[in-house]
Amino acid sequence: MATTLRLLKLTVTTASAERTYSFAEDLTVITGAVSTGKSSLLMLIKHALGGNAVLTPAVVDNVRHVTLEVVVGSSLLRLRREVMGDQGRVQLLELGSDVPERIFPISSRNPDETTLSRFLLSELGIGVHKVPKSRSRRTGDALSVGFGDVFSFCYLQARTIDSSATGHHDPGRDAKRKTMFEILLNIVDPEVIRLQVERNAIAEQAREQEKTCEAIRRFLEANGYADRDALRAERWDVQERIRRDEASLRGLRDDVDRLIERDRAEREQLSFVLRDAAAARERLAVARDTVQAREAALAQLRLDLARSEKTALAAGLLSPFEFVTCPRCLQSLTGRSVQHGHCLLCDQPEPSVLALVDDEKTAVLRAQLAETEELLRAELDHLRVAEHNTEVAEVRAAEAQRRYDHLTRDAVSPRVQAVAEASAGLERLRQRLTAIDQRMATWNRLSKLDEEVVQLKRRKRQLDKDIKQMEGAHAHREERFDELSEYFAAEVAHLGVRVNGRPTVSRDRYLPKIGDSDLDTLQASGGGSTTAINVAFSLALLNYTVHHAEVALPNLLILDSPRKGIGRTEQEDRDLWEGIFRRLQTLADAFGGRAQLLVADNDAELGGEKGFAVIRLTEKDSAVPGVPNTGVGSQVKVEDLDDPDAQADIDSQAG
């Protein structure tokens, strides 16, 4: 039996109302006047399944969320997705309640996170997640497979039902459409697709590696790099020179260490001699200061002694004289009365022993003068000794300085310079060794890349072999296309489509053909013919799916507005529509629960309405409860809006 994808119920919830649509029968017809929401109802199913649905403003402005009960594979799921709120997630509700069991993102940049699309593919048993981007060129580019790529085979939208078969007009999706056709119809083993993706990625990687290898070779040639053997010889020579120079440098450093130790001893001796000379100069300065001070004191004593002697001499010379006039004012002193024993001139008591006092003072001064002269002689002797010692210390210091300068000039400095030059030369050798190692690394990288290219090509050959073997084991392609063409021709006949040629399925484009005319050519005959052929093709795929258990295509087909292209003016158009509807009823009866059909169209002449369910939408009872209509007047219809899937594919191509 085919892969199960069966719709059970769709609940549309607004702020003030809620309505549930049941799809219990194998054939459900959604009918009503223009702009009552038939296409919107189908788009809400696509929205609940995580697709990029076309939602009219009436839906966006009024519907809070939709809840879809659906059987996917063997699992009964209740999916809820917001319309007004966050459309980026879908809730998987517990059965019988509104409690979320899991929440799936619609898309994710994290490859390890399970999106709703990947979850639904897993439930359907479709394990392919990537397909080659190009079917003609083996590039490493791959396209992600989503549930929407599967659902596009199940849903013929009103916008494209009269022009495109499963999106073949979209160049961004056509390559993936063909690959998905092969997978879903079991024309190609899905493992072959996985191996092709891996093979193409490896081939692309090998080409990039070869380009890298060629660029490295050009770089090596342009820079004159020797080959690895010459580099190894040069590296060995440089290493030997480094070892010799390192040994020489160690010897120089040992010599310098010894000289530095000797220099340290000489420097300490020089410091001692310089300190001794400085101390001698300091002692000499102190001795000179002492002599100068003593000479000054001696000169003062000599002045004091001379003054004392002059005073005594004056007193001795003047004491015998009697003054009769004042030597200052020349007034007569005759008759002046003074106290007995006082001087007639100054009226001061006359010293009784004046000469004796002067003699004692003079004697003291002479004694001090003699003592000072003795001290001065001793200090002069000490000064001469200090001058001699200072001269000796200065000579020793000068000799020590000359000896130290000679040592550093002729021994330490040249050797330090030699160490510096040897170190610089050794560093240059090490830099040269590093450059050689870098060149060796470049050669090693080139060898590694060459080996990787060999391994990649070996793996690619093995994958080509595996793909060929698997395709050989799966060699029923022609038989399947013959059988598909028979199913398609039968459906064209059942629908009553007038054709000029044998209906077949194209083996290269996987599209319906009438004789030698493909679908694009058939469009010139009118939208009605194209619509009927598209419907016949989709019914053929569904019928084929029901009768082949190994086919992965889901057993669901949704037709939106098939009468749009057929029309109803001419009797022939009405007959064609009646033929389509009778065939839908016949298939629904024949399927017996093995497949499901949903058809949405304007007020259709449904006949007796037996064997199928009808959902009637009116202006007052439209798809969105509480909203009179979804498209007339200021509103817009679904087919008037751009298809988000087309823009999403453009974005994926740009990415």
User: Which positions ≥6 away from 298 have C-beta within 8 Å?
Assistant: 369, 372, 373, 376
d(CA 12, CA 53): 15
d(CA 567, CA 223): 76
Q: For position 91, what pLDDT does the model report?
A: 96
User: Which positions ≥6 away from 312 have C-beta within 8 Å?
Assistant: 355, 358, 359, 362
Q: For position 371, what pLDDT does the model report?
A: 87
* DSSP state string for 474-513: T--HHHHHHHHHHHHHHHHHHHT---SS-EEE-TTT--EE
d(CA 232, CA 53): 67
Residue 175: half-sphere exposure toward Cβ, Cα within 13 Å: 18
Nearest to 540 by CA among 502, 499, 494: 494
Q: For position 179, what pLDDT does the model report?
A: 84
Model confidence pLDDT, tens digit, residues 164-200:
776 666 666 777 888 888 888 888 877 887 888 888 8
Q: Tokens 């919107």 identify what position?
A: 40
User: Which is higher by pLDDT, 399 or 13?
Assistant: 13
Q: For position 22, what pLDDT does the model report?
A: 95
* DSSP state string for 565-607: HH-SSSHHHHHHHHHHHHHHHHHHHHHTTS-EEEEEEES---T
Amino acid (one-letter) located at 486: E
Q: For position 379, what pLDDT does the model report?
A: 85
Q: Helices (DSSP H) in 63-189: which residue ranges?
A: 116-124, 147-151, 171-184
506-538 burial: b if 16+ Cβ within 10 Å, else e: eeebbbbbbeebbbeebbeeebbbbbbbbbbbb
**Is residue 136 within 8 Å of 200, Cβ to Cβ?**
no
Average pLDDT over residues 620-642: 67
Strand ranges (E), 56-99: 63-72, 75-82, 89-93
Chain Cα centroid distance, residue 599: 50
Amino acid (one-letter) located at 376: L
Indicate if the pLDDT at residue 655 is higher than 50: no
Average pLDDT over residues 79-94: 94
- What average pLDDT is seen over the chain? 82
Q: Which range among 106-110, 451-455, 641-645 shows the weakest confidence by mean pLDDT?
A: 641-645
Give 542's DSSP letter: H
Nearest to 190 by CA among 150, 153, 154: 150
d(CA 16, CA 58): 14
Model confidence pLDDT, tens digit, residues 7-33:
999 999 999 999 999 999 999 999 988
Q: CA of 356: how far to CAs of 312, 350, 353, 363, 366, in Å?
A: 9, 13, 5, 11, 16
Average pLDDT over residues 454-466: 89
Instruction: State how beta strands 512-514 and 63-72 pair.
Output: unpaired
* DSSP state string for 416-447: HHHHHHHHHHHHHHHHHHHHHHHHHHHHHHHH
Model confidence pLDDT, tens digit, residues 229-250:
777 788 888 888 888 888 887 8
d(CA 244, CA 630): 94
Indicate if the pLDDT at residue 351 is higher than 70: no
Indicate if the pLDDT at residue 64 is higher than 90: yes
Model confidence pLDDT, tens digit, residues 121-138:
999 998 767 777 665 566
Q: For position 358, what pLDDT does the model report?
A: 58
**Is residue 562 within 8 Å of 157, Cβ to Cβ?**
no
Nearest to 291 by CA among 372, 352, 180: 372
336-373 burial: b if 16+ Cβ within 10 Å, else e: eeeeeeeeeeeeeeeeeeeeeebeebbeebeebbeebe
d(CA 141, CA 134): 8
| 2 confidence band (pLDDT: 50, 70, 90) | low
Q: Tokens 């809820």 identify what position?
A: 80
Nearest to 601 by CA among 566, 567, 550, 562: 562
Burial of 202 (0-12, 13-18, 19+ CB in 10 A): buried
Instruction: Quote the pTM value.
Output: 0.65
Indicate if the pLDDT at residue 354 is higher than 80: no
Nearest to 598 by CA among 68, 29, 216: 29
Q: Tokens 């072959």 identify what position?
A: 192
Domains of the chain, earliest start first: 5-209+474-654 (3.40.50.300), 228-308+354-452 (1.10.287)
d(CA 13, CA 15): 7
Model confidence pLDDT, tens digit, residues 479-506:
888 999 999 999 999 998 888 889 999 8
Q: For position 234, what pLDDT does the model report?
A: 80
Q: For position 48, what pLDDT does the model report?
A: 96
Provide the angle, in degrees to the nearest 10, between the axes of the packed helices 644-654 and 171-184: 100
pLDDT above 70 covers a percentage of the chain that reads 84
Q: Which range among 326-340, 343-357, 499-513 shows the weakest confidence by mean pLDDT?
A: 343-357
Max CA distance (Å), the chain: 190
Q: For position 475, what pLDDT does the model report?
A: 60
**Is residue 180 within 8 Å of 126, Cβ to Cβ?**
no
Burial of 563 (0-12, 13-18, 19+ CB in 10 A): buried
Indicate if the pLDDT at residue 148 is higher than 80: yes
Q: For position 402, what pLDDT does the model report?
A: 80
Model confidence pLDDT, tens digit, residues 528-568:
778 888 999 999 999 999 999 889 999 999 999 888 777 77
d(CA 358, CA 360): 6
Model confidence pLDDT, tens digit, residues 252-274:
777 777 766 776 777 787 788 88
User: Count of CB atoms within 10 A of residue 124's CB?
Assistant: 20
Tokens of 542: 């569904």
d(CA 40, CA 55): 7
d(CA 529, CA 523): 7
Q: For position 104, what pLDDT does the model report?
A: 96
